[in-house]
Amino acid sequence: MLQHIIDTERVMSYRALVALRGDSATPLGSMDENSYADNADVSKKTMNDLLTEFMAVRTATTKLFDRVTDDNSLRMANVVTIPTTARALGYIIIGHVVHHLQITKERYLRGLTEN
């Protein structure tokens, strides 16, 4: 799941970059998460490797949004033929991680967190 979170953040950050640079014409294709998962060999990565990679990607994403103005955040990208703002993509990036943390709590940590 962590590799999926990393890959998705990379894709969404690229889409945000396109929007922030004012490129609303370039069509940005969809992300086939199943294909990404099928082609990501994480068998030789440790949890520490994945966490380090996530932190590097998150740092890059944070730097991308660091000094974005309100006006710039409203610039659009053509994401899968749906105009989407850089601001929306930032919220999607954050929400995606929160979504998977919630799934992890519900599916794997339910009995451990009840007290």
The DSSP annotation for 15-72 comes to HHHHHHTT--SSEEPP--HHHHHHT---TT--HHHHHHHHHHHHHHHHHHHTT--HHH
Task: Please give the pLDDT value at position 76.
Answer: 98
**Domain annotation for the chain: domains and CATH numbers:** 2-113 (1.20.120.450)
Residue 79 has pLDDT above 60, yes or no: yes
Q: What is the pTM of this model?
A: 0.91
Q: What is the mean pLDDT of the chain?
A: 95
User: Are the CB atoms for 103 and 29 separated by under 8 Å?
Assistant: no
Residue 110 has pLDDT above 90, yes or no: no
Residue with tokens 């396109």: 18
